[in-house]
Amino acid sequence: MLSARGLVRRFGDAVVLDGVDLDVLPGRMTGFVGANGAGKTTTMRILLGVLAPSAGEVRWDGRPVTAADRRDMGYMPEERGLYPKQRVAEQLVHLGRLHGLGTQEARASVGSLLERLDLAGRADDRLDSLSLGNQQRVQVAAALVHGPSALVLDEPFSGLDPLAVDAMAALLREEVARGVPVLFSSHQLDLVERLCDDVVVLAQGRRVAAGTVPELRARGGARTRLEVGPGAGGDVGDLGWLRDVAGVDVLDVDGPRALFTAAEPGADQRVLAEALRRGPVRAFAPDEPSLSEVFREVVR
């Protein structure tokens, strides 16, 4: 498990991280979300030791992380970059060896990785002769070449076309299946919701929410969505009366559609009965907020 406890980072007078706790559990995919400037990249750089924290510590399997531990991790920084003039396979072998692999081992790993990424034909081409999409794949390979003990990826999905997103997601799932803790940051919350087991939300250098995706979505309380249909007279209906029902918090009313929470037990059933008395009901269902809605809520 890769964790951080009480991370603080100051740049001059600016406090970029203000006591961030984080746990990336083995065999689980953790999404790291937050607005621009919330401190995600700084946190990830501290996790990998690229940046030193002003206070707090990074832990690996419950003890302070060492340089040797970090040598086994895989990292994809926000600012992508490899050696532009070096051949693809060669620089991946170099990085593998830096991660502690023997030359033969590194070659074998690079071979199979390029095969998996559909880049086997480009192994001996210079990196800068590849398309941007392919360069991004090589960048992923650079993080995976040594069979990392943990993966930290800063915006791995940015700039990818939908097919490449699927391929990247599949790759990350493979690593998770191997039992590796995977942390990635993204602004694509639908993607995070789809892929991640756990989510950590950062706002202005603080952790404002963390938990499994269902836990986060349940934060909004039990919401109910109601939609009434056109009545016999063809009138579309208006749920304005909802505001007068006791024990109900109305979140939103838009003509025949409304969203509300039952503030006391049974209030939702009273609403249903009243709605049916007034006309046809097209929908009456529990409604969970999407991750984006939760996100907007918690970072506000």
Partner 1 sequence: MSAPTTTSVPAPGPREGATGRRPGGRAAWRVVAEREVAVKLRDKVFVGSFLVLLVLAVAGVVLGAVLGGRTSTTQLAVVAGDERVAAVAAATGALLGPDDELEVVEAPDAGAAEALVAAGDADAALLAAPGGDGLELVGDQEVAGSLSTLVPVAAEGDALERSAAAAGTTPEELLSGAAVEERLLDPSEADPVATTLAPLVFGFLFYLVAIQFGMAIAQSVVEEKQSRVVEILAAVVPLRSLLLGKVVANGALALAQVAALAGVVLVGLAATGEGELLGAVGAPVLWFVVFFVLGFVALACVWAVAGSVATRTEDLQGTTTPLLVALLAAFYAGIFGSGWVLVVASYVPVASTVAMPTRLVAGEAAWWEPLVSAGLVLLAAVVLVRVGARLYERSLLRTDRRSSVRELLRERG
Indicate whether 21 belongs to the interface with partner 1 (CB under 8 A): yes
Find all residues with CB under 8 Å of 152, minimum gap 6, and list them: 2, 24, 44, 47, 48, 73, 74, 75, 76, 183, 184
CB of 115 to partner 1, least distance (A): 18
CB of 157 to partner 1, least distance (A): 18
Window contacting partner 1 (CB under 8 A); options: 47-55, 118-126, 229-237, 281-289: 47-55
Provide the mask over 163-202, with x wherever binding to partner 1 is found by CB under 8 A and - wherever it is not: ---------------xxxx---------------xx-x--
C-alpha distance from residue 161 to each of 128, 165, 236 (Å): 20, 6, 41
CB of 29 to partner 1, least distance (A): 11
CB of 214 to partner 1, least distance (A): 10
Window contacting partner 1 (CB under 8 A); options: 95-103, 165-173, 251-259, 275-283: 95-103
Indicate whether 33 belongs to the interface with partner 1 (CB under 8 A): no
Indicate whether 103 belongs to the interface with partner 1 (CB under 8 A): yes
Q: Which residues pair with 74 in a beta bridge?
A: 151
Concatenated DSSP letters for 150-196? SEEESSTTTT--HHHHHHHHHHHHHHHHTT--EEEE-S-HHHHHHH-
Residues 219 and 102: their CA atoms lie apart, in Å, by 49
Report helix, strand or coil for 9.
strand
Q: Which residue, 199, 155, 152, is CA-closest to 180?
A: 152
Which residue, 185 or 224, is less far from partner 1 as judged by CB?
A: 185
CB of 142 to partner 1, least distance (A): 6
Whether the CB-CB separation of 49 and 64 falls below 8 Å is answered with no
**Residue 244, CB half-sphere, CA atoms under 13 Å: how many?**
5
Window contacting partner 1 (CB under 8 A); options: 65-73, 245-253, 257-265, 274-282: 65-73
Which residue, 199 or 262, is less far from partner 1 as judged by CB?
A: 199
Write down how long the chain is. 300
Find all residues with CB under 8 Å of 66, minimum gap 6, and list them: 60
Q: Which residue, 39, 31, 24, 43, is CA-closest to 216?
A: 31
Window contacting partner 1 (CB under 8 A); options: 96-104, 113-121, 263-271, 278-286: 96-104
H or E element at residue 135: helix 132-144
Lookup: tokens for 113 = 């990785």
CB of 122 to partner 1, least distance (A): 18
Number of residues that bind partner 1 (CB under 8 A): 56
Which residue, 72 or 297, is less far from partner 1 as judged by CB?
A: 72
CB of 277 to partner 1, least distance (A): 42
Based on C-alpha coordinates, what's the Rg of the chain?
Answer: 25
Indicate whether 153 belongs to the interface with partner 1 (CB under 8 A): no
CB of 111 to partner 1, least distance (A): 16
| Binding region for partner 1 (CB under 8 A) | 21-23, 25-28, 45, 48-51, 66-73, 75, 77, 79-84, 86, 94-95, 97-105, 142, 147-150, 178-181, 197-198, 200, 210-212, 215
